[in-house]
């Protein structure tokens, strides 16, 4: 990528496409894909002002999250996981709470990340395009997050314990 200060590269696929996010002139972040010599900005779904492209698979599907305010770290802003297939956005739901975020997408199109529960806890999830499944937390733990998924459906992430220590987790 050329040295452009307003871009943050997140992942690269086997074709050399890079998922990234960039700041525009209005200071909104926008998901984008770098393909060789050009940067293609992905359109945020309506009602969402900012977005991040956190992952890209070998089919060119891009995943990340979008926010209802210009500031993605605004605690009062709703965040939702999003998947772009050929530039068309599909906004994910949650596990009963307000927010969700996609951290990775597999070559089969399954996504993983973190979503809020109705009780304000946050859990790792896997979403197959139809159903978001709560992966839970370690026994006695409150929270978990999934960071990676392979084509076999194995998910890597982290979960806390009753003493709030984080531990690596593999969900199969």
Token output for 44 = 């945020």
| Residue for token pair 């965040």 | 79
Question: What's the CA gap between 63 and 82, in Å, rounded?
Answer: 6
Is the pLDDT score of 5 beyond 70? Answer: no
Tell me if residue 110 falls in helix, strand or coil.
Answer: coil
Q: pTM above the 0.85 mark?
A: yes
Beta partners for residue 22, in sequence order? 7, 30
Q: What is the pLDDT of residue 134?
A: 98
Question: What's the CA gap between 11 and 5, in Å, rounded?
Answer: 17
Q: Are 31 and 17 in contact (CB under 8 A)?
A: no
Structural Rg of the chain based on CA atoms? 16
Q: For 168, how many CA atoms within 13 A lie in the half-sphere containing its CB?
A: 3
β 111-117/122-127 pair status:
antiparallel
Question: What's the CA gap between 90 and 45, in Å, rounded?
Answer: 8
Q: Are 103 and 115 in contact (CB under 8 A)?
A: no
- Tens of pLDDT along 55-114? 999 999 999 999 998 777 667 789 999 999 999 999 999 999 999 999 999 999 999 999
Across the chain, what does the average pLDDT equal? 92
């Amino acid at each position: 990528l050329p040295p452009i200060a307003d871009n943050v590269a997140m992942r690269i696929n086997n074709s050399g496409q890079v998922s990234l996010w960039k700041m525009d002139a209005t200071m909104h972040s926008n998901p984008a894909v770098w393909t060789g010599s050009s940067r293609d900005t992905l359109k945020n779904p309506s009602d969402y002002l900012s977005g991040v492209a956190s992952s890209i698979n070998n089919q060119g599907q891009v995943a990340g999250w979008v926010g209802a305010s210009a500031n993605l770290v605004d605690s009062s802003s709703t965040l939702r996981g999003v998947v772009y297939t050929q530039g068309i956005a599909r906004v994910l739901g949650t596990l009963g709470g307000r927010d969700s975020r996609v951290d990775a997408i597999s070559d089969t199109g399954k996504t993983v990340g973190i979503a809020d529960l109705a009780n304000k806890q946050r859990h790792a999830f896997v979403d197959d395009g139809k159903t978001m499944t709560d992966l839970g937390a370690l026994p006695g733990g409150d929270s978990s997050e999934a960071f990676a998924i392979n084509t076999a459906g194995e998910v890597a992430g982290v979960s806390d314990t009753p003493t709030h220590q984080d531990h690596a987790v593999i969900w199969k």
